[in-house]
Amino acid sequence: MNEILEQLTNRPLASDGPVTRLFRAAGIQDFVAAAHHLWKLPYGRIADRDQLGLVLSEGRGTCTTKHALLAELAREQRIDVQLTLCIYEMSERNTPGVGKVLSRYGLSCIPEAHCYLRYGGKRIDVTGVPAGAEPIEEFLYEEPIAVGQIGVYKNDLHKRFLSEWITRTEVVHGRSLEEVWRIREECIAALGAGEYAKPDN
Model-wide pTM > 0.85? yes
Cite the beta strand spans of 104-192 per DSSP E: 110-119, 122-124, 141-144
Higher-pLDDT residue of 64 and 196 is 64
* Cβ-contact 147, 68 below 8 angstroms: yes
Instruction: Give per-residue pLDDT as tens, 3-43.
Output: 666 667 678 898 889 999 999 999 999 999 999 999 999 99
Domain locations in the chain as residue ranges: 2-197
User: Tens digit of pLDDT for each residue in 71-130?
Assistant: 999 999 999 999 999 999 999 999 999 999 999 999 999 999 999 999 988 899 999 877
DSSP code string of 13-47: --S--HHHHHHHHTT--BHHHHHHHHHHSPB---S
Overall residue count recorded for the chain in this entry = 201
